[in-house]
Structure 1
Amino acid sequence: MRRIGGLGGKRVKLAETVTFGGSGLDRAAAQRGEVDALLRAVTSRTIVLWRGKPLVLDPDGDAQVLRLPLDHPALHMAEEAPIFLGIEEGGAAIFAQDISSWHPIGAEDAAIDAFADRSRQQHPELPDALFVELRMVMSALSSRDAELVATALALFNWHRSHGFCARCGAPSHVVQAGWQRNCDSCGAYHFPRTDPVVIMLITRGNQVLMGRSPGWPEGMYSLLAGFVEPGETIEAAVRREVWEEAAVKVGVVQYVASQPWAFPNSLMMGCAGEALSEEITIDPNEIEDACWFSREEIMQAFAGRHPHLKPAREGAIAHFMLRNWLADRMD
């Protein structure tokens, strides 16, 4: 079998262990239209978000997303009905609620809106838990907690940006326990949007192609990525994006793994590709820089010993693919 830059053309082992995927949550779609009984059940629980941050116990240790009863006093700040996420083991329904209307004392927008938000907020009704930026804890969460938060965050993001009908412009309203919006004016139905994105590990011999966007922290590089366009295959999107961003031609492309990425509403489709050319010419409108890094340099970065390259963010699919490329883990 022809090898692709150390991936061997085979699927990486444990592809569904990538963060935010593979927990086996029963989404119970058939019950979305009739959730009143679940909302009244004493066993039902909800996770809570504030400005996109999940409520987490022990974020610096064994991080766990806190589940609250639906009548908890902190939830009086929720302005919308709970979103039904599914049924957990044991039959308990799990929901999500957003209390972004709460205004914690001392919260600074500059910190919350930063690329890496390390600020934390504590609700007075919840002294044992903290609202923490998801990127800061995503690699520490269980697969179930990660999937629940990613699903809730993506749905809340969609509702915030789709309050009006895309067909006629009239206000739409939420139905199906948060999984649909209907327009009474023209009768249109709208469903949560997920944008397909390709992210690609492009190799040439012992090297991997990486780039950085303007505004990223110093030393941060990642695999090239871009949106799939209408009428385009995944493989074609990989080749087009790499050519547009770095002017590198790509030959064989193979799928590796996928990751729901709720920042804000994407499905990252990880691919491995073989570069047919090496010279790089970046498009400054697309990226700030791109360059080839050797396997040894990536190993140094992962170990924290590279002089200027930082490791890919743990929990992101770029980190997942790079680590598997280094380890040559295949089926």
Structure 2
Amino acid sequence: MQNAFTGAALDRVGDSRRRDEAWLAAQLEHPGARAVVAGDRGFRIADGRLELVALSELNGGQTPLLLGLDEAGPVFAFDEEPARDGRVPMVGSGGVRGEPPVNASGDRVPLRQAAARLSRADGGLAAYTAALLNWHRRHRYCSACGHASDLTEGGLTRVCPNCGTEHHPRTDPVVIMLVEDGDRLLLGRQAAWPTGRYSALAGFVEPGESLEEAVAREVLEEAGVRVGTVSYISSQPWPFPASLMLGFTATYEGGEPTIGDEELQDVRWFTRSELEHAAAQAESDNWGSPGDPGGELALPPRLAIARRLIEHWLAD
């Protein structure tokens, strides 16, 4: 499965070169140095692609962060917004909840739309850029002592000059799963979703928990259903702001679907024929206008791993 937000073709330079200050300085001065430019409104685009802007042309904003190298030279991530304290928007969201901005202009693409409008490689590069910039936006201060921290290793580490604590970009693992019982799948919906939309169940992995245990716990908590065999399918970066979606299928063992917490508005079984019909419909651009459980079944957008898991199941 080739999921959205994957496919960034870069040498990420995850080695000793990042700890070589002279080498890093040379990358900033490299004649081929370019940057993915992003801000609150979205990513800078040109001719339907992410625009890689010459680093020498950029002013203001924050310190460029080294993403890696391609055949033309170093590629950086550049946050065009000034550094701010407090709760700040996620890159490309236009708001603190991660919804597409209403004021996106023609030269910017919000992060959610990047995977749909750009190539898979550009979508992966946008996801990498957003994840790194979002982490720096929200981790400017040391979590151990509260002192302002410093950038090191081209942006892959922050170090506190006061207590010496090193901080690294975090990734939050999320299990997302289809519960299968023969020719039917268990899906749920949140109240904020458009009318008729259902998706795979999902939840964050808790401390001291295996992925398989997280799948079983989340299904039981959210839907009151017990599962047996858990099988891994694929993964997807989900930079809203820093999740990694880990996709699974799980076999039904018992229990009647019942809403177990406030996260879901409804949970129920769907037949293969219902899912095949829904998968054949044109995709809606409606991301979050609140609806209700009624109406024709609508599946998640194709950029979401939940949709890819359903399509993978239908094709199996």
Instruction: Give the TM-score normalised by structure 1.
Output: 0.82
Counterpart for residue 149 of structure 2: 172
What does 1:167-206 correspond to in 2, within 5 Å? 167-206=144-183
Q: Does 1:264 find its partner at 2:267?
A: no
Counterpart for residue 77 of structure 2: 96
Residues 115 and 44 of structure 1: CA distance in aligned 2, closer, same or farther (over 3 Å): closer
Counterpart for residue 9 of structure 1: none
The 2-side partners of 1:52 and 1:265 are apart by 18
Residues 66 and 269 of structure 1: CA distance in aligned 2, closer, same or farther (over 3 Å): same
Counterpart for residue 86 of structure 2: none
CA drift at 1:193: 0.4
Q: Does 1:296 find its partner at 2:273?
A: yes
CA drift at 1:279: 1.2
The 2-side partners of 1:118 and 1:232 are apart by 36
Comparing 248-257 and 309-318, the one that deviates more: 309-318
The 2-side partners of 1:294 and 1:26 are apart by 44
Q: Tell me which of 50, 69, 84 is aligned to 1:87.
A: 69
Q: Does 1:287 find its partner at 2:287?
A: no
Counterpart for residue 60 of structure 2: 77
Partner-residue secondary structure (3-state), 2:235: strand
Q: Tell me which of 169, 189, 193 is aligned to 1:212.
A: 189
The 2-side partners of 1:158 and 1:137 are apart by 19
Q: Does 1:275 find its partner at 2:252?
A: yes
Q: Given that residues 138 and 315 in structure 1 are in contact (C-alpha distance below 8 angstroms), is that contact kept between their aligned partners in structure 2? A: yes
The 2-side partners of 1:52 and 1:262 are apart by 15
What does 1:26-41 correspond to in 2, within 5 Å? 26-30=11-15, 31-33=17-19, 34-41=23-30
Partner-residue secondary structure (3-state), 1:267: strand
Q: Given that residues 120 and 132 in structure 1 are in contact (C-alpha distance below 8 angstroms), is that contact kept between their aligned partners in structure 2? A: no
Q: Given that residues 199 and 226 in structure 1 are in contact (C-alpha distance below 8 angstroms), is that contact kept between their aligned partners in structure 2? A: yes
Residues 100 and 289 of structure 1: CA distance in aligned 2, closer, same or farther (over 3 Å): farther
Q: Given that residues 34 and 76 in structure 2 are in contact (C-alpha distance below 8 angstroms), is that contact kept between their aligned partners in structure 1? A: yes
Residues 116 and 171 of structure 1: CA distance in aligned 2, closer, same or farther (over 3 Å): closer
Residues 314 and 121 of structure 1: CA distance in aligned 2, closer, same or farther (over 3 Å): same
CA drift at 1:139: 3.0
Unaligned regions of 5+ residues in structure 1, if any? 1-14, 103-110, 123-128
Partner-residue secondary structure (3-state), 1:138: helix
Q: Given that residues 246 and 280 in structure 1 are in contact (C-alpha distance below 8 angstroms), is that contact kept between their aligned partners in structure 2? A: yes
Counterpart for residue 287 of structure 2: none
Q: Does 1:316 find its partner at 2:304?
A: yes
Unaligned regions of 5+ residues in structure 2, if any? 84-92, 283-293
Partner-residue secondary structure (3-state), 2:259: coil
What does 1:222-261 correspond to in 2, within 5 Å? 222-261=199-238
Q: Given that residues 22 and 143 in structure 1 are in contact (C-alpha distance below 8 angstroms), is that contact kept between their aligned partners in structure 2? A: yes
CA drift at 1:52: 6.2
Q: Given that residues 209 and 293 in structure 1 are in contact (C-alpha distance below 8 angstroms), is that contact kept between their aligned partners in structure 2? A: yes
Partner-residue secondary structure (3-state), 2:277: helix
CA drift at 1:84: 0.6
Sequence identity percentage: 40
Count of aligned residue pairs for this structure pair = 291
The 2-side partners of 1:112 and 1:52 are apart by 5
Comparing 176-185 and 283-292, the one that deviates more: 283-292
Comparing 268-277 and 44-53, the one that deviates more: 44-53
Partner-residue secondary structure (3-state), 2:254: coil
CA drift at 1:120: 5.1
CA drift at 1:283: 2.0
Counterpart for residue 327 of structure 1: 315
Counterpart for residue 5 of structure 1: none
The 2-side partners of 1:174 and 1:97 are apart by 14
Residues 81 and 101 of structure 1: CA distance in aligned 2, closer, same or farther (over 3 Å): closer
Partner-residue secondary structure (3-state), 2:220: helix
Counterpart for residue 52 of structure 2: 67
Residues 238 and 52 of structure 1: CA distance in aligned 2, closer, same or farther (over 3 Å): farther
Residues 100 and 218 of structure 1: CA distance in aligned 2, closer, same or farther (over 3 Å): farther
What does 1:3-14 correspond to in 2, within 5 Å? none
User: Runs of 4+ in structure 1 displaced over 6 angstroms?
Assistant: none
CA drift at 1:25: 2.4
The 2-side partners of 1:227 and 1:152 are apart by 23
Partner-residue secondary structure (3-state), 2:137: helix
The 1-side partners of 2:175 and 2:232 are apart by 10
Residues 118 and 173 of structure 1: CA distance in aligned 2, closer, same or farther (over 3 Å): closer
The 1-side partners of 2:53 and 2:188 are apart by 41
Residues 141 and 304 of structure 1: CA distance in aligned 2, closer, same or farther (over 3 Å): same
The 1-side partners of 2:312 and 2:232 are apart by 14
